[in-house]
Chain A
Amino acid sequence: MIRAARYSAALLSACLAGGCAGDDTSYYNRALEKNGEVVSQNRESGAESTPFPYDLADLSPAHRPDPKSDEAGIWYHMEKVERRIKTAGERYRNREVNAYLASVACRVTGSYCKDVRIYVIRAAGMNASMAPNGMMSIRTGLLLRARNEAQLAAVIGHEAGHYLRQHSLQRLRDVIDKTNSLVFFNFILAAAGIPVAGDLAVLAALGDIQAYGRNHEREADGYGLLLMSRAGYDPEEAWKIWDLTLREMKATKDYEDRSQFLASHPEPEERMAVLRKLAKSVKTDKTTDIGRERLREIVAPIRAELIRDELNARRFDAFEVLLDQLIADGDNLAELYYFKGEMRRLRAKDDDLEKALAFYAKAAQAPGTPPPGLKRSAGLVQYKLGRIDAAKESFAAYLKDNPQAPDAGIVRHLLKRPAK
């Protein structure tokens, strides 16, 4: 009992030390509120248009930190990271994709366009990140998941929000403050003879630091919404991207075990609900651009390789959710059914192989262009199921269509002696 009281005391004191900011959903509104103030000021002064987020940001365009500041330290570090990223193996160098994302980013960030540099990283999964010096990295997995340019703009706007509000810098200062107080409190507690409580204090401080970060995410969401709508995109698209993410998350094994206390981002449900509500307040007759076709044109030629990246991650259940969404959107169904088959061929559980064959057959009939490996995959599954004649037929068809394929020699080899 006394122990419990001591723990609570320690937890409380750690909270007091750190300020215990906690989760605060009002952060979502900050960008819009500031924007409202600017708009009404302009109205009073008779200015016609709203100046671009200048007054919503903590830094001006072409900002450079004071060389003596802590900020300069972070910039120096990030510049080193950026030099590495420039030549990194995972950088996706497709010229069209890079130019396209840079143009969307420019449209969203306006007068800050030159300050934000986009690096496309070839990786599965939906993620983007922003460094305090203006280096934004975007995973190619986002290109599969954003269903139109407006959704892409929402994510880029969110990241730009982190930059405009200097969240990395704020966060660094917060961590330093909280860990400093923590050292001090541990010292006091140890002197008072409460040794174990130090661990609880660390946990409390860590949770508090994370909550602080989650508030930044909320604020960045608000900025994303504002920036995208200022650029003329439909703000109703912002919440929709979370819908797919949430479904993918729910399909993964560890969704139920996640810790909200130590999470880096707010729950997608919350983000969806708030963004959906706020979208109505920024929507006007000028915010109608969705740009589905523009994104589709960029993604179509590279989509198969991006889907292959997702498949390589072998989170089969989440993969299925993503594919079903793409199928619902309806572009190049032949390619998508092929990958439905590929997933089952690789998972190979229960009647997966039979189902794989059914999807390959569907791919051959569906509108669009199936990838060149369709007949090879079908042959492989037939071979595994012991249907040697059918396998031979499929392999022969593959060779006929792809006589120069790097694996043609192996397929011919399999054709010669398919049975064991």
Chain B
Amino acid sequence: MTRSLKRIAAILCLLLPLAGCVSFTLAKGGESIDLGEGVTVRPPSDWNRLSLGKYEYWTLDGLRLQNILFVKGAEDGEAIVYRRRTTEDEEKDTFPKYRKGMTLLEIRELLESTWARQEFHRVRVTRFGPASLGGSSGFEIAFAYDTKDGLEMRGLAAGAVVGGKLYLAIYSGTRIHFFERGEKDFRAIIESYRLAPGQSARARLPAPGASVGRPATIAARR
């Protein structure tokens, strides 16, 4: 019984931000956006932004259609979470974690096993090569997977380890239409990615009046 209560709590934690308790703000196209933790990017067009501190989601049309997850410096021993972990996983300590000193091969493995634990099914990595992110040498990974409901998804992720912390930008969207719709923007965002770790996060809270509410298509004027 306690297990199901914990599950309900975990689901609530996931749903609350989506229900509007944490609101989306607008990341204006063409402007330099400070994501906090020393990360800035310049999106070519408007995106909806959902900041959860170190983790941040962006979307054009809705999180389930396409999204970018920014992980702004995972530390040694930290799990790379898309969603909040269930308490069960935490108790048993079986969740894959980032470790300082991991090679790029191990980071790929970390991502794949994290995805497997978060109901990304049939994950296929199609390309995995060296690339730079924010001026640091890192990697780029192209992948595909199916959602729990069997929807086919495509993904593209870039990452680098800077100062022992893992920085990631993971883009994914439905294979039909929505991945392609944001792909060019994502590449431009990665190109514009600047990283100055150690800088204080100035703009972690959304500016007043910047809220656009739910992740509708308002921001997607392209």
Contact = CB atoms under 8 A, between A and B. Distances in A.
Interface of A: 84, 87-91, 122, 206, 253-254, 262, 309, 312-315, 348, 376, 380, 383-384, 406-407, 409-411, 413-414
A309 B94 CA distance: 13
Given A89-B151, A406-B125, A409-B127, 16 more contacts: A84-B149, A91-B150, A122-B122, A206-B1, A312-B117, A314-B94, A314-B96, A315-B92, A348-B99, A406-B126, A407-B108, A407-B129, A409-B128, A410-B139, A413-B104, A414-B103
Given A409-B130, A410-B129, A410-B139, A90 B105 contact: no
B1 A262 contact: yes
A413 B92 CA distance: 36
B143 to A, nearest CB: 9
Interface string B24-53: 000000000000000000000000000000
A98 to B, nearest CB: 15
B78 interface: no
B108 A89 contact: no
Interface centre among B94, B99, B145 (most CB of A within 10 A): B94
5 contacts: A87-B149, A89-B148, A91-B150, A254-B92, A314-B113
Contacts of B127: 406, 409
Interface string B88-100: 0000101110010
Given A91-B150, A414-B105, A312 B113 contact: yes
Task: Give the interface SS of chain B, mostly helix, strand, loop or mixed.
Answer: mixed
A36 B145 CA distance: 52
A406 B128 contact: yes
Contact of B92 (A87, A90, A253): A253
Contacts of B126: 406
Contacts of A383: 103
Given A314-B95, A314-B96, A406-B125, A380 B105 contact: yes
Contacts of B130: 409-410, 413
A380 B96 contact: no
Nearest to A254: B92
A87 B121 CA distance: 12
Contacts of A262: 1
Given A254-B92, A314-B95, A314-B96, A90 B128 contact: no
B76 to A, nearest CB: 13
A380 B106 contact: yes
Interface of B: 1, 92, 94-96, 99, 101, 103-106, 108, 113, 116-117, 119, 121-122, 125-130, 139, 145-151
Given A383-B103, A406-B125, A407-B128, A90 B148 contact: yes
A417 B217 CA distance: 45
B149 A88 contact: yes
Nearest to A85: B150
B105 A411 contact: yes
Contacts of A84: 149
Given A314-B95, A406-B128, A88 B116 contact: no
Please give me the 8 A-B residue pairs with the lowest Cβ-Cβ distance, nearest first: A409-B129, A89-B121, A89-B146, A87-B150, A314-B94, A413-B130, A407-B128, A312-B116
Contacts of A89: 119, 121-122, 145-151
Nearest to A405: B128
Contacts of B101: 384
Given A410-B130, A411-B105, A414-B103, A315 B94 contact: yes
Contacts of A314: 94-96, 113
A405 to B, nearest CB: 9
A81 to B, nearest CB: 13
Contact of A410 (B95, B96, B108, B146): B108
Contacts of B94: 313-315
A91 B1 CA distance: 28
A337 B31 CA distance: 54
A253 B90 CA distance: 13
A165 to B, nearest CB: 26
Nearest to B124: A406
